Structure 1
């Protein structure tokens, strides 16, 4: 059972009903908010564990906070007590402030708008859901005897499930708020700690024969050693070092004061020479520029034109440019038009672009540079996922458009201007209309802002 399946089982309908009663929100909206927060927290922790510090902090918080999974065994009983529920919210609120610093308010606003609940309710749910998620992760650590690296690897093994399960309306917000572009596209990976930490402090060789150093585990909590002899000695040592540094600083200032008074004349000469040199150089360069005195005719009547800048028509004459330029160059046409990227194709069942696709991606990058206000949404569809590759149609479509986005970013386009979503085959799983709809395999580009 994967992590999301476990969390959905823990957060069953009875638990959701109890939580909804506590925050005074409808059960259906509460359920939507809690599920959205599960995706948000897991995604945020994935992003956090792409750094070594983040790997250690997550593991340390689970260990020190005693998130061992015991809460999930009697969660419904605990939630019947308002004081215990409040304690869980407070605990989760404190931990998430450390693991996802400065993001609590933005996450609350995102979930509030997504689920249609009050912002205060979203913040409370963030704390409560964080505690539950950490307990489920702590149960994995305990049962599977994971270290920090194992926990990070286990978390990242859920990336495909994250891509497949997050609702389409939430995914763009999630990527923007948490900065998950690299994570969901498969570029990012969990950080591996270079130094294995144990209490022995000895050297040890890994499986490849490379020698590493073993040290005590890193802790990011401040220790109070005021009552120990070692702490006292440490403080005396720091005081002595500070006094020595202060004396050395005073001597340095005294020496520089003497040198300054002795060399003040030379310094003023250097300043004068430098100023004259800069002035002379400026005059020389200004005199070297020829002045064009040829009379130039002025246009008598301004001519209005809706054609795009010359750089588009001369530098790029491909099909995409010819298709989009008249639309982009005409400010009277509304935003929102969708254009097919027919020049981009992938080898069936894979993320490998065909050779002719690179030119179309470059053409799209040129359009984005020519129209600096242009913002787009790449919409991917796939129906060619193959068994045994690890891809579903939805994840395949999502990874393909994110690969295009990465190439556009490599061309110098700001990621904020490019949204990317994958819609699988284009046929919704909960479609009960009974009308047979064709599955799709294509890439579209939607103009969000002109």
Structure 2
């Protein structure tokens, strides 16, 4: 397979959009991310299962010039193209899908429905753009979608399956997505063929299985007994050096402490690392899917150029990954912040027609009037810094929102509330 469509679409659903969706829908960022992780394979699977549907193919190819990717969060709900696609690929299963994702991610049904529209918009828009950029006709696009069938089930996150989403057969007379069959043999029971798509078939009992079962009934206990005897013999004949090593009580305490930890607490998230983000041939250092990457992708896609007015841009904010102020300050940045400001200046200079607005945000701790004042001062500081760098004409304004869009309770830890203390920019006209 030449292309993993899900990886293509993920570029439109980066951290900035997740953060904006969380603020707008009143949900946690983890809940939004979890929902998207389930919705994206489901939507791609639905498109793959209708790869030969002319209406679906027409909607995808028409999306390349609709500017859909330019306003995924605000322009997806009520969009006729998205409604048509959803109706075609899911039919009367939309409600069940929304409910399943809502329960899985711990978000409301209305939020789940909004995210379904957003993910579908990102999928249709990304595929339409790819088809246009690579001169794919209807047959080429259909082939690309059919290629996705074999991987969709494997990309669903743990805890979700096509069956749990109510999509085991995708409805109607459509054929189910390809599933892998696994044969499970029990020595005293009939052979059971389990289909990972959700169907289980009982095969007639075979006489040779009976014979095998009778042998193992007496052979297996003997093997276990022999294994236990060998283990005891090894324990009694350990070299003295091994016994001495085990008396290191510090090592034993350290190891046992680690062993007592729940399995999921042992998992650590790999830190983000800078990569080269292409700005028309110039490499900027930033995170894949981060602010610079998302803004450049939007500009390259023609999203800004095709946006009719400021209203089409006002809901899509890009959160700084590295620009942070020292606690309580509106004039002192943390170390490393300047690099990302320089990157933003480079982006604006590369696209002189693009204009932005700066926004400042705080968490819910403290007096709201003071929070608004602090966030406004910080937004104005960023605006002034951009003006000094020669792109002031492209900065339309700066505004502080205090804790208006904060989602984490004031009683949460400082680390948990950090997500609400941020600076962001959006495109403006």
Query: Smaller-chain TM-score range?
Result: 0.3 to 0.5
Look at both structures and tell me which one has the larger radius of gyration over its CA atoms: 1
What is the TM-score of this pair, normalised by structure 1? 0.39
